[in-house]
Amino acid sequence: MKTLAPHIRKAAAADCPQLLELVRELARYERVPDEVTVSLAEFIDAGFGDKPVWEAFVAEVDGRIVGMSLFYIRYSTWKGRRLYLEDIIVTEAMRGKGVGKLLFDETWKLCQARNYNGMVWQVLDWNEPAIRFYEKYGATFDGEWINVSLAGNATTNGQKK
């Protein structure tokens, strides 16, 4: 059977089990398979509950989701509203077939349509295929900033527990 061209559309709550599988595939690719701890219920609520915090586009082929672009609004005190691209994921079997480009282009079009000041994201320094992909768009890479995070109950009043 011939594979159809990918269809790009907004994600729906019913897509979340497949989207979470894509997230797990990305975690395996990034060599941290045990880092995905979000539950399906939390994932659905965060995207489609009373106060959604993320949106996504999906790429579908033959009724199966083969990629996604998950994003949300970030606010920069210097630049204003910016779209933050949390993840762009394409299944291993569909990489190199233009699916990522379709998802990226659709996300960028949405960013522009909403008059956001730009789009930002992160890429691992060893992910050469992704870096080459973003270079084709003329993306700027900033090696100056250090990623920082704090887990739920990691500190109390600035003191380590």
| Contacts (Cβ under 8 Å, ≥6 apart) of 20 | 36, 38, 40, 43
The residue from 29, 72, 116, 134 that is catalytic is 134
DSSP character string of 89-121:
EE-GGGTTTTHHHHHHHHHHHHHHHTT-S-EE-
- Helix (H) or strand (E) segment spanning residue 160: strand 159-160
Contact yes or no for 82/43 (Cβ under 8 A): no
| Beta-bridge partner residues of 7 | 60
Contact yes or no for 16/43 (Cβ under 8 A): yes
Identify whether 134 is a catalytic site residue. Answer: yes
Instruction: List the catalytic residues.
Output: 134
